Structure 1
Amino acid sequence: MTDRARDAVIGVDVGTGSARAGVFGLDGRRLGSAVRPIRSWRPQPDFIQQSSEDIWAAVGDAVRGALEAAGSGISVRGIGFDATCSLVVLDAEGGPLSVDPGGDPAQDVILWADHRAGAEADEITAGDHAVLRYVGGRISLEMQMPKLLWLKRHAPETWRRAGYFFDLPDYLTFRATGVTARSLCSTVCKWTYLGHEGRWDGDFLRAIGLGELVDEGFARIGTEILPIGAPIGQGLSDAAAAAFGLRAGIAVGVSAIDAHAGGIGVIGAALDGVAPDGAGLRARLALIGGTSSCHMAVAPEAAFIPGVWGPYFDAMIPGFWLNEGGQSATGALVDHVVTTHAAYGEVARRAEASGQTIYQVLNAVLDDLAGADGVAMLTADLHVMPDFHGNRSPHADATLRGMISGLPLSASIEDCARLYLATIQGIAYGTRQIIETMNDQGYAIDTIWLTGGGSKNPVFLRAHADATSCRLMLPDEPEAVLLGAAILGSVAGRVYPDVRGAMAAMTRAGTVIEPDRGVRAYHDRKYRVFRRMHADQMAYRALMGS
């Protein structure tokens, strides 16, 4: 008889820059994990590409590394996958097809953050089709239909030869099982599949110029759409098992987008031993912060919120409608602001000398500068509008750009620290605006369940608690996205009967961060500046006639 203490499930998470794998006990405790880098190419502005073969190789290495870290005697019951909502293009045999303007055959992935399809997105939105109600009224250039239309127009040979268009999470389960089934999560959230009706909208696809997909019976975009966590085919294939160092036939769960896996890993955790009901979930926001940030909220009924994606039925928690706000660049923006500052060299030298990260160095500088008034007050005259890569929510305007008010002539390490802080505060005000937009439409969000890179930075955490006046809850398991993927594996392996049951058994609340009411008025004033900066940018556009 198997020793259940060593029974385990595996979660695989493919983010923007790395593939990670985690081995978890059936109670959600992490037994071992590993991370491997993946490559990106930027052949020209707004183009970001990856390689599915590079990603799959990194996944295999990460799984083997996680198993080694977990130790011997592990019996794997199931495996789940999540990934960024990137577009993978394969030929009829399942091999890579180039999406690169230069024709590099290995680069077959258009990254989620690639903004090449802006004109196509605007054109689709102008059609004002009923489907757009389920994406906040405006389709994003980060979604897949604009990118498919771009491929048809600008890479006609790739379009003609393509046998499969996959969202990256579904590509991973395809490689793991050989089955082309797609996930409700991916297809509903990024491909305009109407999950609550169980169908593609052929009229919409014809109207936007993708009628071939309808004529082909949707064969290239998915004819079998399954709920997250459902077992796929016969489980892990011989080839995938060999790549992972596992036995063939292990249950593989239908995948999720990475942010949605993070939501699964945090939003259902019990408080005081009680799992949330529908009303309790309506008061929670899952914030998954990494390169970008995603703001996930669920409710028993549909909420149509302009500028916020959704409502998506069954896309994250079965039986619930999901609304998804987001910020296109958060971790990436903080990195950009710091690494391009004139004082970055000094920051990096201090970090290397002290064995710290650059952000630990900057946090220490802020503490030294703060004095009795506290860190937040250091930016009273320095303000950042963080839309350097456009605005996903609530303005849904990819053409917006960042703004900074209050720069001095100096460029010291102290100036770098203040700008770093102001940038994080600007990101937090963006989260506040998203929460206010959702609450105006029926949510009652007062608690943020936060995971991802930002959750490891105390300045990021404090800014979000104080700027939003929400309580922050950190999960007991810091790698909650990995855990969310593992939960999908547990459902596929029939460890738990459904996703909600697995969430209740495998997720737990950790640290609580309460907002500091003493700085509420200060953040209210800065938030008014934040809102004014957007209005000012629109006024500048009008003045310039664009």
Structure 2
Amino acid sequence: MRQAFIGIDVGTSSTRAGIFDEKGALLATAKHPIAVWHEAGDIVEQSSSNIWDACAAAVRGAMAEAAISPDIVKGLGFDATCSLVVLDRSGKPLSVSASGDNRRNVIVWMDHRAVAEARLINETQDDVLRYVGGAVSPEMEMPKLLWLKRHLRQSFDRAGHFFDLADYLSFQATGSLARSTCTVTCKWNYLAHEQRWSAPYFQRIGLQEFVADAYLRIGTTILAPGTPLGSGLTEAAARDFGLNPGTPVGASLIDAHAGGLGAIGGRDGSGATAHVCDRLAYIMGTSACIMATTAEPCFVPGVWGPYYSGMVPGFWLNEGGQSAAGAAIDHLVRSHPAHEEASAAARREGVDIIAFIEKRVMERAGNASEAALRARDIHVLPEFLGNRSPYADPDTRAVIAGLDLDTDIGAMERLFVAGLCGLAYGLADVVDAFRAQGVDSKVIVMGGGAGRSPLVRQIMADTTGLTVALPQTPEPVLLGAAMLGAVAAGAYASLGQTMAAMSALGRLTEPTTPGMAEFHRRKREVYGLLRRLDHASRGVMRGLDISSG
């Protein structure tokens, strides 16, 4: 082997490392857990030091599995959740927690403490908001930063660096303070198409400190994903990872965007390279991202973007999403009375509980398409963490209709399938919002662990009417991160060239019978009724203040 590239992915609960050859073949992977603190009030925090140590453990594990020399590794790249990392002026962790614990220096993407701050920012109706679908989300960084200023002012004032998690990792690896166009454009309101921050915006939303310090704490050097950073791995980072000092490191990506990069540009079955604008990326993990690439900016209400060079350099990105995807399904299953019984049965078969339930569903249905019929009389609006798009309503909550008193595993199966249908209808809402603005993709390329499920793929295809494709690689997110290292190392001249060389499409799932399309049309109508019920219910209870005792 002449060369290999490492992709490092930081998710919500673990880090993973994958090693690929120059053609995109996966050589080895390894995984390591990370700590998460959950508290009441939608507080979710992590430790950047713990995350870095987990990255090092995952890289060392993958290198041991691949049994290759560090000399073979020519480059690496990081992707991560869009979580906020706070460091002091010396680069040490600084608390974002009411506990004052400096280990807890990361506000996780799913933390919704900044709902009120997001609302304040959106009320300004600043022109910058046009490039984020008209409204910021509490999952983005400006609401979180405004929350810190309002509630933990000492930490805000003492902070020397505010990083998106992916940029923190590249900083820790290379010492470079450069930020990725992907992170700051998609989550920090950087105007990449004009290559600038907006001073009036920061002044209007109450974060004028960033203007006063010339944006030093949030980034003055913004680079395209894959751009080589500094002099590569520092001596300290190389020791941590067991790699050679100076190994090139590419500017990073958000995790879902790495999955998009690893999925949408690959060769099709004929060996031809498809245009990225023809393909929609659906990256489903704890949450889900739905990403469309366009040659010209397209403004889709309630959908983040358009972001210039947010994923593929030179193209615009629109990013829809579901704040709870895999997390919603896990919660539905865990909360069911049959969970303990099903878990024990799954352990006996040596599989996880989701695989166990899906196997039972498929055995009874006969085929993946008709399996959806199990959810005929139960309906789920699975928005446990609000609606990210296209309604941009963080206050939305889940609604379930049709529950009975059955407590056996069969009842759990029906709820499981209903949850998958609910996620598919949320995807269809975003696809329809895209289509209404002229973004008409032909294929959905599905990444993330759920993409390996034939049941999930078929429900998504039947609901949207689009072909659902799997990337040929089982690890598109890791591949996307590894592509950054390949570009940084000069193995390929551009990310576009890298995508064509290292990725390809695999299995296709087509929509099936008109009868199933009608079934999903009707269930989707019920889904809309549940959304309206949720909205109306909140309206009825709004403003109620009854003091106890």
- TM-score between both structures, scaled by the size of structure 2: 0.96
1:170 aligns with 2:161: no
Partners of 2:56 and 2:540 in 1: CA distance: 54
What does residue 282 of structure 1 align with? Answer: 277
1:220 aligns with 2:191: no
Q: Deviations over 1:69-109 (max 9, x none)?
A: 11134511111110000000000010000111111120100
Q: How is 1:46-61 mapped onto 2 (pairs within 5 angstroms)?
A: 46-61=42-57
- Which of 473, 481, 484 is the aligned partner of 2:469? 473
Partners of 2:357 and 2:457 in 1: CA distance: 15
> Which letter maps to 1:392?
R
- Which of 207, 210, 227 is the aligned partner of 2:207? 210
Cα contact 1:80–1:254 (8 A) shared by 2: yes
Q: Deviations over 1:324-344 (max 9, x none)?
A: 000000100111110111110
Runs of 4+ in 1 over 6 A off after TM superposition: none
1:24 Cα offset (Å):
0.7
1:34 aligns with 2:40: no
1:8 aligns with 2:4: yes
1:365 Cα offset (Å):
2.9
Partners of 2:13 and 2:355 in 1: CA distance: 21
SS of the equivalent of 2:75 reads strand
SS of the equivalent of 1:203 reads helix
Q: Deviations over 1:391-418 (max 9, x none)?
A: 0010000000000110001211110110
Cα contact 2:370–2:516 (8 A) shared by 1: no
- Which of 360, 366, 375 is the aligned partner of 1:379? 375
Q: Label 1:545 to 1:146 Cα distance change in 2 as closer, same or farther (>3 A).
A: closer
What does residue 340 of structure 2 align with? Answer: 345
What does residue 413 of structure 2 align with? Answer: 417
What does residue 125 of structure 1 align with? Answer: 122
1:231 Cα offset (Å):
0.5
What does residue 108 of structure 1 align with? Answer: 105
1:502 aligns with 2:498: yes
1:544 Cα offset (Å):
3.5
Q: How is 1:12-411 mapped onto 2 (pairs within 5 angstroms)?
A: 12-73=8-69, 75-271=72-268, 272-277=270-275, 281-370=276-365, 374-411=370-407
Cα contact 1:193–1:201 (8 A) shared by 2: yes
Partners of 1:367 and 1:80 in 2: CA distance: 38
User: Greater shift after overlay, 372-381 or 516-525?
Assistant: 372-381
1:369 Cα offset (Å):
4.3
CA RMSD after TM alignment:
1.3
Partners of 1:472 and 1:64 in 2: CA distance: 35
> Which letter maps to 2:520?
H
1:160 Cα offset (Å):
1.1
User: Greater shift after overlay, 38-47 or 357-366?
Assistant: 357-366
What does residue 546 of structure 2 align with? Answer: none
Partners of 1:348 and 1:316 in 2: CA distance: 39
1:516 Cα offset (Å):
1.3
1:539 Cα offset (Å):
2.5
User: Share of identical aligned residues, percent?
Assistant: 48
1:437 aligns with 2:433: yes
Q: Deviations over 1:471-520 (max 9, x none)?
A: 11101101000000000100000000000000000001111111112411
Q: Deviations over 1:6-59 (max 9, x none)?
A: 311111110111111111101111111111011100132300000000000000
Cα contact 2:288–2:325 (8 A) shared by 1: yes
Q: Deviations over 1:245-304 (max 9, x none)?
A: 111111110000001000000011122222123xxx333110110000000110100001
Q: Give the number of equivalent residue pairs.
A: 539
Structure 1 alignment gaps of length 5 or more: none
1:545 Cα offset (Å):
4.5
SS of the equivalent of 1:255 reads strand
SS of the equivalent of 2:283 reads strand
Structure 2 alignment gaps of length 5 or more: 544-549
SS of the equivalent of 1:48 reads strand
